Every structure is written in structure tokens, then in C-alpha cells.
Structure 1
Amino acid sequence: MAETVLTARSVENLLGDWRAGGAAAYMALAERIRLLMLDGRIPVDTRLPAERELSERLGVSRTTVTAAYRHLREAGYLDSVRGSGSAARLPGARLAAAPSHDAGFLDFSQATTPAIPGLADDARAAVEELPLHLGGHGFDPVGIPSLREALAQRYSDRGLPTSPDQIMVTIGAQHAIALLARTLVSRGDRAVIEVPTYPHSYEALRAAGARLVPVGITPQRDAAARAGGLADDGSDDDGADEADDLVQAISFSNPALAYLIPDFHNPTGRSMTVEARERILAAASRQGTIIVADETTAEMDIDRQQSYLPLAAYGDAVMIGSVGKTVWGGLRLGWIRAEAPLIRRLVANRSHNDLGTPILDQLVVKQVLRRMDEVLAIRREQLRVGRDHLEGRLAETFPDWTVPHVNGGLATWVNLGTPVSSQLALGARAHGLIIAAGPRFGIDGAFERFLRIPIGYTPDETDRAVEALARSWAALGSHPVPDAPYLAAVV
């Protein structure tokens, strides 16, 4: 039995402009639905709408939808039972796992980096300390005192005085986002989000029952403009308009919560100015809106000209951090920095879903924090090399693409100039590259002109990815794509 049922209207929104290109209608529809399954926008076991219902909504013949569903069933992406409808499937564990190195695939859907050097030594040191903690029950819903002290000290060192009772340790940043959403949002409450944005954040807010209020933001200045001598400090003049939009959204929609990524925004790479931070926080304070700031990439600075304090240093805000991006994604540990009363609420609400953060992971992170400045210096150089190499390859291979120059973070948000991101991502899979299409970072099918490309991979891996994109792009050229509304501008 499918766990979720998608309406025809929901599928239409997810599909976007699926008929672009020269493929037969049924094949174009099947391929776009397949991409939605592959990148998680249609989860496994989700039941799709009936053929007649979807054909009426899309304005196509029922024969077209029937043929598309049949193609998906034959390829292993649909499981249909008479009387029960059709449910999404993935054909085998290999595709479900989406490996980056096994079976020749390179996974650029993950904007991340490999583990830092010396992490195994940190783990060995943590194991040596573990016996000191074995006398207790091991269920830790708030975090071991020594790690909370270390995290509080790091915030203080960055200019935000913090005490250990303002820290809660979580199982990664995503766990923190979901816990905050469940605690702070009631069903029907509004929640402001930037778009595009980190997709699992709005999924967590939707799961908590929030009604999303999207506010559009734009990428940084492109690399070509920077090469021409224009100033680029990570926050150009467009930031003032975006601050206006966020202030207006908070003031007029009366949201319970606003989820923001103020530094090296995922996926655009933008950073908020000090003025924008202060204005947004002041508006939230007037309205009673809780600002949740995701800082998972905040310290991944490459060469930003201006430094910024943590957002809560400019006003009231709840902070989320983790080591998933700075240290290693396999070390599942994050934290929340908030006032002590909210920390107590979060601890009380946590047991509904989990019983605490693993002690050994906490001890490893405590070891890493002792050399965090060294870790960030290593990451800074890795990202500098990766960014510069990617910018050069994209300029050579795709001179018509607009490639923003990012000053930090883990990815750049490339404008393709035409709404073919989903087709390009699907085509790239045939050449061994897994990459997330632009609409994955928006809602209702937007951002077909954009593609997030990570900067943290090695030059060799980046070369492979660009070559796969070039082959996919060339294949698209044989099927001219009609122009369409600039979706990103009307989100």
C-alpha cells in the first residue's frame, strides 16, 4: 500500500514545462516523472494519480498518460495493481543508493567534500576517552557537557557570547531542522523560506504542517563580471531588494518561523549584508517570528572580502550548525544554539522521534574542534582549487552559461540560459553523472534554467562532470527547446 497519494495538480506543479524538446509526448512525460523519482521529489511508494485524472489535468489524451505509465512500469519505476493505482518504485538497490564511484557513476547531487585528513586519529582518540562514559545509560538527548562547552566556546570566539545551556547536540543539521519545525510550527502556520533553497529544509517544514511563503533570491555576480574588474564581496546590490522582500514577507504574512541561510547560501552562494541581517531580524522581532539560521556552511569562506558574525549576534535568532560539510558527511552530528528555555522545549520534544545523539560521535567531534581552525584552512584551499578549476572549465565549455563567482560555500548556481535543467540532468545520467536539476531546489517546478554544480570535487572529477554535461548538452541541441517564462523571476 502506498504511503502517500499525489494529486494530479501536485504532479502538474512538479512536472513544470515537461513538454519542452522534440521527444514524443508520452516519452517526455515518462522521463520527467522518472527524474522526479530519482531526485526524491516523488518518494518511493508514493501513489500517482489515475491516468484519466492526470490526462485531464495536463490537457493530453489518456493514451499519452497510459503509454507513459506503461513505459515507467517496464523500466521498473512503477508498480501498478488493478484497483489500487500505480506506486513509485526504484529499479534495484544500485539506483536507489546512487553510488558516486561504484558502477562508474560520479555523484554531483551531493555538494560536499571527502573526510578531512587526520579524522581517523581523532576517532582513535575518542575511543580512548569512551570508557569514561560507559558507566551511564548512553541515551543523551542534549549533548555531553564537554562538547557543549566546546561548541559554546566556538560561538563566543566568533563574536557571539554563548553558554553551554544554550547548546543542544543533534544527529546532524537535518535532524535539527526537523526538530525545530515540529516544535515551533503548528499545522497551518506560515513559514518563510528563501527560494531556491536547501530542499530538505522545506520538506521538513511541510511535514510539520507549515504553509510555505517563498521569497526569491538571486545568485552572486557572475565570474565573467568579476574578471572584468567589477567589485564582488559576496553581497552585491541585489541584496537590498531581497532584504526588502524578506522584510515584507515577514511583516505581511505573519509567519511563525523563517528559515534562512545567511552565509554562502545553498544553492546560490549569496551572503547577506550586515544591513540586511539587522533589518530582517528587526522585522521578525516586531512580528514575533522566530528566525532559524542554517550555518552549516557559514565558516566555509574562500576569499570573501568582509567577515560576518553569527546571525544571532545581530538580533534574536536560532542557529543550526553541523560538521557534515566542514569535517565529513559520514559524521552525523549537528547542534542548535538557542536560548535556554527553547533548548529545554526541544529536549522534551525530542524523544518522540529519537532518544539521543551517539556518545562516540560526540567524542570524535570534540577532538576535531580542538583543531577546527586547521580544518577550515584545509577546506578553504580545497574549495579555492575546486572553484577556480570549475569556473575555468565551464567558461571554456559553455561560454553562454552564466556562472556566478562564489566566495565560499560548496556550490555555484549556474544559469543555463534556457529551461532545460531537468532534461540536462537526465541526459547526464546516461554519461555517468548524477546531478540535481534546478527544480529540486525550488517548489512547484521552478528553476528549470538553473543547475547547482558543486565546487568541492577534485579537478579530475570536475573534468569528468563537465565532459558528461557537455555530451548531454550536445544531445539537447539536436532537439531545439522553445522559450518559456523565466520561472525563477516569478517564484
Structure 2
Amino acid sequence: MTSQVRGSQLARLLGQWHALPGRRRNPDYAALAGAVRGLLADGRLPLGVRLPAERELAEALRISRTTVTAAYRELRDSGHLASRRGAGSWTMLPGTHRVASTGLWTPHDDRDMIDLGVAALAAPPELLSAARAATEDLPRYLGGAGYHPTGIVELREAVAHGYTARGLPTSPDQIMVTNGTQHALDLVLRLTLVPGGNVLVESPSYPNALAALGARRARISTHGLAGREPGWDADLLLGSLRQTRPKLAYLIPDFQNPTGHLMPAELRERLVATAHATGIDLVVDESFVDLPLDGTPVPPPTASFDRHSRVVSIGGMSKPFWGGLRIGWVRASAPQVQRLAAARVGVDMASPVLDQLVAVHLLAAAPTIVAARRRQLAAQRDTLLDALAERLPDWRVTVPRGGVTLWAELDGPISSALARAAEEAGVRLAPGPRFGLDGTLERFLRLPFTLPATDLVEAVARIAAVRYDLDRAGLPPWREPAVIA
């Protein structure tokens, strides 16, 4: 079912469209058409959405219907709108151009490369002591086969305790340990989504989640996030759920990747209520929930508003601890966990016992480890912000209150070209289109602040030099995409 945007909703997305660059040189209809194209390019207005009728939009914008008619005509002429008499008009891109998000991984051993494609920290010093302690615990497991499809009980108890401490009472039977958060998502999709099923995701979103949905041949619709806080437009998000009624929605409410937005508690509650009313399952990715910065309070877990097992939460050790420790988990109802375990047997049987024991010891030391991570990330974030303000002052960045990434709005639709040129200068970037579905988001770039401060300053200096060369040198040659995490 096609989603529709109402006149009042589109007017809110358009904002001060009269004040856009070049407005005084263009007639009203051209400025309006340009503003709509900008929303499509940013991913805030999804493709395949039916726009409001001309009269409705004219009333919402308080302009003449003639102006809207001319703007729609220009959008059709430029290939951004398709219309059918009596049925309405739908958003599109010229030539049906689409860019898939593959999440492709390629090795690279260049030590001079500053890799800003991976949003993850190096291992904490406590990892070695946790590994030593885990080896001392290992003998008591050696007498068995070593297969624990839902995870060893000590780790499930530790994860359940973490949820309970956040205000969501949880038992070990509601936890399934996986080989990382991506594995958790894959198992949930295997259980809940038939091939070709409808899914709603945010735009932008995590590339590897989009790749997992693509592997299930999911039919994906998007909710475009705004640059300002809180990011989600409640009216548009809940309206999209009611109109499209997807089988499930994949959302990142806690310091969203890549924007860093934090979903308010009120919207979480309304989101769950809407899911209950429409029969939609919610997959909530909590990868960054442990990383609030500057003392930002984190709202209650989305699942705390759930009374009918509509919310499945996934998380893991990669972001607050270390990506090399492939430990993730699913938090769901006990019957759902048992069904996940049954589905898992055909995939990988169980997670490594030794890795799980390491995770138990790291979680026991989490208050100390995570507090140090937060201080480190806050300092590195501020360093990156200062470097951008000095070297690339025309870029606009909303300061994230948590997580590990900045979502930068560039001074033009140059993200992919900039990424290709930057790699030649020794900086690997994750361009905006990798976080979307349709070749949009070219005016955006994700910049993680997980590297040491000196690397971040040097990276910005190289990016700035490349940026100013782009206008003179033209587009660099195509290169294969690399690691984004």
C-alpha cells in the first residue's frame, strides 16, 4: 500500500522554503519544486509516497493553487514526480535511478589510511584481564558438548540484569545470546519476516541492517529523519505505520545510527501503542544505548511500554566494548526466544563459550569501563566538532547527545564524490547514500569520533583539502565501497 503525506505534513517538512538559496532569482513555483527535490535528495521525503492534492497543499502553504500546479508540473518534467489522472502523484527519482546499500566489506592493510568508515572503538584495557578470568572459568564447561543455543546462563543473567536496571524487568529466559547484533537482527528477520514482506525503516539508517533486509527481499518503505532534534516527526512516523501497515519496523531510537538522535519517551509509548493497534512488530536496535554523553538522560526502553510481545530488542558488546568480541543478544518473550533458538539451529548452533565468559566479566566491570568510554567519546567528539568548525565552516552538524557519530550536512550534493577523492588522500569515508536506499542523501556524510583526537584532526585537514580541490579537479574515478560498521 502506498503511503501518503498530507498537506500539513509536507508544509512542515518544507519549512521556510521561501528562504532557500536562489529564491529571489526564481519564481514561486520553481522555488517550491526545488524545495521538494531537496527533501527527496536528503531522504526526508521517501520515494513512492503520494503527495497531497494541489488544492490541499496550496491551502497548507497559503499560496495559490496555480503555483502548486506549476511546481508539480516542473517536478514531473524533471523526473521527480509521476502522476495518473484521478489517482494522484507519487515521488520518484529521474530515470528510476536506485543505488543499493550492500554493506560490502573489503580488506585494506594501508597503515596510513585513516578509516572513518567504521564507527567502533578499539578494545578497552580491561579486555585482557577479562579474557584471563574467562579461561579460568572455562573448565567447568569442558565436560559438556559446548552447545548452548540461547547462551550460557551466566551471560543471559547478566544481560537480563542490565535490562531490569534500566526499568524493564527481564528474566534470563527472555534473552538469547547471538554472534553480534547483526546476527541477532538476521535471526529475528528469519523468524518474523517472510521473503518480500513489508518493512518500515528510518532514513538514513544502518547500512548493514538495510543489507540484511535486502537479503530477505523485503519491500522497504522509509521515514525520513529531520536534522534537528528529536529527528522523528511523530505525526509522519505514526501515520506511515497506519497507512502502510508493514509486517515490522526496524528502528534505532537510542542515539540513532548515523544521526545520533534520541527518541523521546512519549513517542516511544505512542509508537508501541500504534504497533499494537495495527499488528506491527517492532525491532528496536539498542546498540548505542550505553553511550549517552554530557549526562544526557536516556528514556525508558521502548519495550517497557509493550504489553503484547510486539517489541523485540537487540543489542550487543560491539559499541560500548569491542567489535572483535562477537557477542550480541535478543530480548523478547520467552516463547519467542525458544522459537529463535529453533531457527538458529539451522544456522550456527550456538555462540562460543569462551567469548561468552569474557563478556560476563566485561559486563561485571561495565560501570567503570563504560564511564571511561563516555569520557573518551565526549572529548573526541568535541575535537572533531572544533576541527570541522575551523576547516569546513560551511558544513552543518547537529551535536549528538550520545552514540559515536556525527551526521554532517555538506555544502552541496557531493558526498560520494568526496568519499572517492578522500580515499586517494588517505581517508576512508562513509558517504550519505550508503545509509539510504535510493541514491539520495548526497548532501550528508557520517563522521564517527571513535579514533584518537590526532587522527580526527588530521582526517578533517585532508578532507578539507580534498573538498576545495573538488571544484577544480572534477570527479575522481570510481572505487569499490569498503567497510562501514
- TM-score, length-scaled by structure 1: 0.73
Q: Aligned runs of 1:124-273 on 2, under 5 Å? A: 124-220=132-228, 235-236=229-230, 239=232, 242-273=233-264
Gaps in structure 2 of 5+ consecutive residues: 1-93, 97-101, 476-485
Q: Aligned runs of 1:90-489 on 2, under 5 Å? A: 96-99=106-109, 102-220=110-228, 235-236=229-230, 239=232, 242-303=233-294, 305-315=296-306, 316-478=310-472
Counterpart Cα distance in 2 of 1:461 and 1:138: 42
Conservation of the 8 A alpha-carbon contact between 1:218 and 1:268: no
Q: Deviations over 1:406-456 (max 9, x none)?
A: 111010100002100001000001111111111000011110000000012
Most deviating of 297-306 and 343-352: 297-306
SS of the residue 2:195 aligns to:
coil
Counterpart Cα distance in 1 of 2:148 and 2:268: 34
Letter in 2 for 1:98: H
Counterpart Cα distance in 2 of 1:161 and 1:303: 27
Q: Deviations over 1:458-480 (max 9, x none)?
A: 11110121112012102112158
Displacement of 1:272 in angstroms is 0.6
Letter in 1 for 2:468: A
Conservation of the 8 A alpha-carbon contact between 1:219 and 1:269: no
Counterpart Cα distance in 1 of 2:264 and 2:407: 19
Change (3 A) 1:459 1:363: same
Counterpart Cα distance in 1 of 2:95 and 2:270: 43
Conservation of the 8 A alpha-carbon contact between 1:190 and 1:257: yes
Counterpart Cα distance in 1 of 2:456 and 2:320: 20
1:227 — aligned with what?
A: none
Counterpart Cα distance in 2 of 1:306 and 1:243: 20
SS of the residue 2:461 aligns to:
helix
Q: Deviations over 1:362-400 (max 9, x none)?
A: 000000111111111011101111110000000000111
RMSD, aligned α-carbons: 1.9
Displacement of 1:304 in angstroms is 5.0
Counterpart Cα distance in 1 of 2:341 and 2:223: 31
SS of the residue 2:284 aligns to:
strand
Conservation of the 8 A alpha-carbon contact between 1:304 and 1:408: no
Q: Deviations over 1:37-71 (max 9, x none)?
A: xxxxxxxxxxxxxxxxxxxx979xxxxxxxxxxxx
Displacement of 1:103 in angstroms is 3.8
- TM-score, length-scaled by structure 2: 0.74
Conservation of the 8 A alpha-carbon contact between 1:196 and 1:442: yes
Conservation of the 8 A alpha-carbon contact between 2:296 and 2:402: no
2:482 — aligned with what?
A: none
Letter in 2 for 1:355: M
Size of the aligned set, in residue pairs, is 373
1:62 — aligned with what?
A: none
Counterpart Cα distance in 2 of 1:314 and 1:244: 19
Letter in 2 for 1:265: Q
Counterpart Cα distance in 1 of 2:286 and 2:227: 18
Displacement of 1:307 in angstroms is 2.7
Conservation of the 8 A alpha-carbon contact between 1:194 and 1:214: yes
Conservation of the 8 A alpha-carbon contact between 1:172 and 1:322: yes
SS of the residue 1:376 aligns to:
helix
Conservation of the 8 A alpha-carbon contact between 1:403 and 1:414: yes
Letter in 2 for 1:248: G
- Percent identical: 42
Gaps in structure 1 of 5+ consecutive residues: 1-56, 60-87, 221-234, 482-491
Counterpart Cα distance in 1 of 2:295 and 2:471: 37
Q: Give 4+ residue runs of structure 1 displaced > 3 Å after superposition.
A: none
Counterpart Cα distance in 1 of 2:118 and 2:471: 27
Conservation of the 8 A alpha-carbon contact between 2:184 and 2:329: yes
Displacement of 1:139 in angstroms is 1.9
Letter in 1 for 2:321: V
Conservation of the 8 A alpha-carbon contact between 1:142 and 1:356: yes
Conservation of the 8 A alpha-carbon contact between 2:196 and 2:216: no
